[in-house]
Amino acid sequence: MKRESNEYTVQAVVNAFDLLEALTDENASPTASLLAYKLKISSNKLFRILVTLEQKGLVEHDKRTGNYRLGPSSFGMAQHILSSASIIRIAQPIMEGLARKHDEAVYITILNNDEVLFLDMVDSFQQVKAVPFVGKRFPFFTNAAGKVIKAMSLSDVQENISKRQASKLGITDMQGLESELDTIRKNGVAVENNGLGEGICSVAVAIKDYAGMVVGALTLLAPSFRMLQDRLEQEIIPSMLAGAEELSLKFGYVKIHV
């Protein structure tokens, strides 16, 4: 049986997006009554939506004038979207160069709420390769990308992750993780076997911006049997570090030599 395209539409969600869109108009700072008129919904429905969006920081209410405007969370969300798109666009040529040089899959990854998100990839031509991970999320401590981002972002993970958080994340050996991250911090690269699946090796290096903040990681994935120690040390790691340095320069990062 054919279903209508709007059968699963949640009208309150549609109204919320319509409201946010109305607030994106240049110089838009309408009152509740004007919003209700524009959106053609009752004042009660509008009030419930406004309160919800205000609690999430997506909308702000000026109690003095009664006007509404977009809140800081809206701009933060837009910034994250634009940042992700910018990372993909700028990283693509470097990812292609690394993927063609080593004939292995190369990803751009970011950290979001203690999870690694695989944003984009350039695949290899190998017949045997790992399944694509684009759009997938993994706890940061299970893979090289998450570990290198954490290692290069924080000087002490134990100070930033409570015992309760660690338990919730599934981290059973915080001291062991901290020791591993310290080694990654010194070497500038993380190598992880089997964290993303049996027989998968991941190699990751951090990308920094103009302020020295870590914005993501270049991550190479390959079957473990192709990632022999000599190849890792002599080929993969040096070119991944060089690629990360080149990409960081494109984001304005300047390495200070002492």
Query: Do the domains 11-70 and 80-250 sit in the same CATH topology, yes or no?
Result: no
Instruction: Specify the fold of 80-250.
Output: Beta-Lactamase (3.30.450)
Q: What is the pLDDT of residue 209?
A: 85
pLDDT the model gives residue 4: 44
Query: Average pLDDT over the chain, rounded to whole?
Result: 83
For the chain, give every domain's residue range: 11-70, 80-250
Residue 1: the pLDDT is 37
- CATH class label, 11-70: mainly alpha
Residue 187 pLDDT: 93
pLDDT of residue 176: 80
CA 207, 210, 212, 215 torsion: positive or negative? negative
Where does 7-156 have alpha helices with state H?
Answer: 11-23, 32-39, 43-55, 72-102, 144-153
pLDDT for 160 equals 62
Question: In the chain, which stretches have pLDDT less than 70?
Answer: 1-9, 25-28, 75-85, 155-170, 172, 256-258
Q: Whole-structure pTM over 0.95, yes or no? A: no
